Amino acid sequence: MSQKSKAKQANRGQRHSAAWGKRLSWLLLLFLTEVAFAQFGNVTPRVNGKFARDLSPYLSQTGANQIVKVIVTYRATPQSAQVTKLHNLGGVHDRTLKLVKSVAITIPASALAALEADPQVISVSLDHPMQVADDITDVLTGVPSSWNSGYNGTGIGVAIIDSGINDSHPDLKNSAETTSRVLYHQDFTGTPTTNSSGAQYDLYGHGTHVAGIVGGNGYLSSGNYVGVAPNVSLIDLRALDENGAGTDSTVIAAIEQAIALKNTYNIRVINLSLGRGIAESYTQDPLCQAVESAWKSGIVVVVAAGNYGRLSVDGSNGYGTITAPGNDPFVITVGAMKSNGSSSVSSETLASYSSKGPTTYDHVVKPDIVAPGNDIVSLAAPGATLEEDYPAEFVTGNDGNNDYFTLSGTSMATPVIAGAAALLLQENSALTPDQVKARLMKTAYKVFPDSSVAWVPHLETNFTSFYDLLSVGSGQLNMASAVTNTDLAPATVGAALSPTVVYNPSTGVVSLVYGNSSVASTSVVWGSSVVWGTSVVWGSTVSGSSVVWGASLPWNDNLLSAFSVVWGSSTGTSTQATSVVWGASVGNADAAFSDAGDDEQ
């Protein structure tokens, strides 16, 4: 990960994107998403009982002759008989996803009705397109304190589920520069792993950059661009292709393999710097169920929040834009900060593109934590798509070559937290995922201004960011405090579930609710009955015992149209919520699945 910022180049006022690139402008993205919201803002999570709402176009007469990629979830792990039945319906088997009792299949839309009638089928979801979420960082987050205490990630395996890792980069070798610390490669995309430009394993350039933020050792920069955990072991599970694109099923298959390899490589952390729109509750989403399975197996799952924090539909100011699977309450969801060229944490401000909560449908409080994510210098993958498209972003190493590359986004903030988790697990290998999450959140830096203003050049406007818990979560990573803290959350799985927010229309109060149907609120570590208490974790963003914020936010008034955008027309219960920032149309929603970042002034 880049620790020292490079000097701004002459063209740094231009937007660079970790995924959108020249294929999709910000204005087009904004237009498509607003159109999708306007069309699908008042729909229920599922139609016809078993079908996710974004399958609606395929269930209509107009979609009957189309082919659609879906994930079919069964009551029990599907066997060959179920696959044969799908074949008989004209389906082409893509893969079986035992982790979530599902089959990914390409099938005629006209055959969907037969799945509705199958009593063994629980649900049918689109196999959504998936794309990446895309220096001073170590100083700002207190990481050197961990290094000084002897923690550098040794012995901890971090699975990078991304576009691959080019393991030839010297910064990914051991301290003697003799052996790569990338211990395993596996491709789930079915696409080539080399190209004519010389790229290997990572043909997009995103996964290598992420891997460097987690665990680069700074060899080619004389220690300037060192990862958070510079001796960590890396496991490369390639779920995104040369364009940074994949699907739910490729990511789920990679998660399943990470769980299978957990003991072989001591995989304790999964990094997911990717995301897509939310089409249904996390309780019904196969992708979210997959990350929960990894969490319950003892792996810390760290996920990007998304980069749609500037998306303001009817004045919503970017609230309600968290992407999946960052909407799941088990995982650690990460938003992005920017250093503003300073090594002082007090000078950092929220990156205005960083997505904000609450989550669609479930109204989960996200992000959980923030970390530096803007203008991050990390490892380059020469010959990869990003490097070919944005050559001005190269940074030379001490050998005079283009060894490093600059990207921005919650993609870059996420591996900062993944590396931090690896350091805590090296310090105490007995920590559970919930204990890691709770400690990082409790010890986070919590002193922020009420608001900040950023000039966004390509939008030609100022954007105001607020510092409530739906924007910065529990605060910014403070590794100096985390590594010296010895508090332990309960060992119960789900002890550190992210709470939900509920609006009471009779009082006008928005409050936190802890736990879910399987985890009692009294057992959740930041519940009102637990010693840490609400204010310890969330700081001044929560006033009193339950009120999330006052009336200062621009949309926190039920007389405003923005209020219904975020909260829907419900009485505050998640099952009735109709707030949908992500469109459900196949064409429009796909355009919004990118999770790349933007530079700001």
Please report, for the domain that includes residue 106, its CATH number.
3.30.70.80
**Whose CA is closest to 301, among 262, 340, 348?**
262
Indicate whether 280 belongs to any domain. Answer: yes
Average pLDDT rounded to a whole number, residues 79-92: 94
Decide: residue 447, CB within 10 A, 0-12 exposed, 13-18 middle, 19+ buried: exposed
User: Structural domain of residue 568, as residue ranges?
Assistant: 500-576
Which of 98, 126, 154 is the endpoint of a domain?
126
- Regarding whether 95 and 59 lie in a shared domain, the answer is yes
Indicate whether 25 belongs to any domain. Answer: no
**Whose CA is closest to 458, among 33, 8, 17, 18?**
17
- Regarding whether 317 and 293 lie in a shared domain, the answer is yes
Confidence of residue 44 (pLDDT cuts 50, 70, 90): very low
Average pLDDT rounded to a whole number, residues 138-166: 92
Say whether pLDDT at 396 is over 70: yes
- Regarding whether 147 and 110 lie in a shared domain, the answer is no
Could you read off the pLDDT of 211-258 as tens digits, one per residue?
999 999 999 999 999 999 999 999 999 999 999 999 999 999 999 999
Indicate whether 339 belongs to any domain. Answer: yes
Say whether pLDDT at 522 is over 60: yes
The residues assigned a catalytic role are 162, 206, 411
Could you read off the pLDDT of 413-432 as tens digits, one per residue?
999 999 999 999 999 999 99
Strands 46-47 and 92-97: unpaired
- Regarding whether 433 and 324 lie in a shared domain, the answer is yes
Which of 95, 126, 157 is the endpoint of a domain?
126
**Whose CA is closest to 251, among 162, 159, 123, 124?**
162
Per the model's pLDDT, the better-predicted residue between 444 and 29 turns out to be 444
Element (H, E) at 236: strand 233-238
Confidence of residue 555 (pLDDT cuts 50, 70, 90): low
Confidence of residue 569 (pLDDT cuts 50, 70, 90): very low
Could you read off the pLDDT of 2-21 as tens digits, one per residue?
433 333 333 333 223 333 33
- Can you give the pLDDT at residue 543? 52
Q: What angle (nearest 5°) sits at the alpha carbon of residue 381, between those of residues 376 and 384? A: 110
- Can you give the pLDDT at residue 589? 26
Could you read off the pLDDT of 462-488 as tens digits, one per residue?
888 988 889 999 999 999 999 999 999
Q: What CATH number did the domain enclosing 208 receive?
A: 3.40.50.200
> Do residues 104 and 71 touch, judged by C-beta distance below 8 A?
yes
- Regarding whether 312 and 336 lie in a shared domain, the answer is yes
In 298-361, the DSSP E strands lie at 300-304, 332-338, 349-350
Q: What percent of the chain has pLDDT over 70?
A: 78
Which of 78, 110, 126 is the endpoint of a domain?
126
Indicate whether 21 belongs to any domain. Answer: no
Indicate whether 110 belongs to any domain. Answer: yes
Q: For residues 261 and 563, what is the distance between their CA atoms, to the nearest angstrom?
A: 45
Say whether pLDDT at 557 is over 70: no
Say whether pLDDT at 166 is over 60: yes
- Regarding whether 440 and 297 lie in a shared domain, the answer is yes
Alpha helices in 4-89, H assignment, sequence order: 26-40, 56-59, 80-88
Say whether pLDDT at 174 is over 50: yes
- Can you give the pLDDT at residue 142? 84
- Can you give the pLDDT at residue 599? 52
Q: What is the DSSP string of 431-476?
A: --HHHHHHHHHHTSB----SEEEEEEGGGTEEEEEE-SHHHHTT-B
Indicate whether 495 belongs to any domain. Answer: no
Confidence of residue 377 (pLDDT cuts 50, 70, 90): very high
- Regarding whether 223 and 77 lie in a shared domain, the answer is no
Q: For residues 207 and 241, what is the distance between their CA atoms, to the nearest angstrom?
A: 10
- Regarding whether 60 and 193 lie in a shared domain, the answer is no
Indicate whether 331 belongs to any domain. Answer: yes
- Regarding whether 349 and 324 lie in a shared domain, the answer is yes
Average pLDDT rounded to a whole number, residues 101-115: 92
- Regarding whether 117 and 177 lie in a shared domain, the answer is no
For the chain, the domain total comes to 3
- Regarding whether 477 and 532 lie in a shared domain, the answer is no
Could you read off the pLDDT of 252-286 as tens digits, one per residue?
999 999 999 999 999 999 999 999 988 889 999 99
- Can you give the pLDDT at residue 529? 64
> Do residues 417 and 477 touch, judged by C-beta distance below 8 A?
yes
Q: What is the pTM of this model?
A: 0.85
Q: For residues 329 and 181, what is the distance between their CA atoms, to the nearest angstrom?
A: 31
- Regarding whether 121 and 142 lie in a shared domain, the answer is no
Indicate whether 443 belongs to any domain. Answer: yes
Q: For residues 353 and 409, what is the distance between their CA atoms, to the nearest angstrom?
A: 8
